[in-house]
Each structure stands twice: as C-alpha cells, then as structure tokens.
Amino acid sequence: MNADQAQTLLAMIVVLGMFVVLALPSLIGAARDRRIDRQIREAQERDRTEAQKSSSRSTVPSTATWYADGRRSKKLVNS
C-alpha cells in the first residue's frame, strides 16, 4: 500500500465517520419516536378494553346516593 492509497483510505474513513456522527442523532430520535408511538397505541388499546369492560358491569349507586335517598324518604314521611 503506497501513500496515495493510505490517504484515500483515511479520507474514506473520515467521511464515513462524519456521516455516522451527523446521522446518529436523527436515527436515535426516529427510534425514540417509534417507541413513544407504540406506547401511546398500547395505552389507547388498554383504555378501550377497560372502557368496554366497565360498560358491561351493572351500575351500583354510591354511598352518597343511598344516603340522599334515605333523607328524602324521611322528609316525605315527616311532612
């Protein structure tokens, strides 16, 4: 290998290294965006399935509703 070939090889390595340094942040950002998009999709699917499960359950009045019903009936009786 003579001096011209060594310089050419060194120049190619430098150019390739510069390309990697310039492209790496972009590739890392794209991978991060894909990961976040996947997490958002999974969360939306989880919310959707939980909403379907909760809508099929029977509704039970809360304690406040029972208390208010009792007070209303007492007022009606006293009147």
Q: How confident is the model at residue 52 (pLDDT cuts 50, 70, 90)?
A: confident
Closest CA to 45 of 35, 34, 33, 53: 53
The full set of domain ranges for the chain reads 1-54
Please compute the mean of the pLDDT values over residues 14-26 and round it to a whole number. Answer: 97
* Proportion of the chain above pLDDT 70, given as a percent: 67
pTM higher than the cut 0.75:
no
Distance set, CA 21 to CA 7, 27, 32, 33, 60 (Å): 21, 11, 18, 20, 61
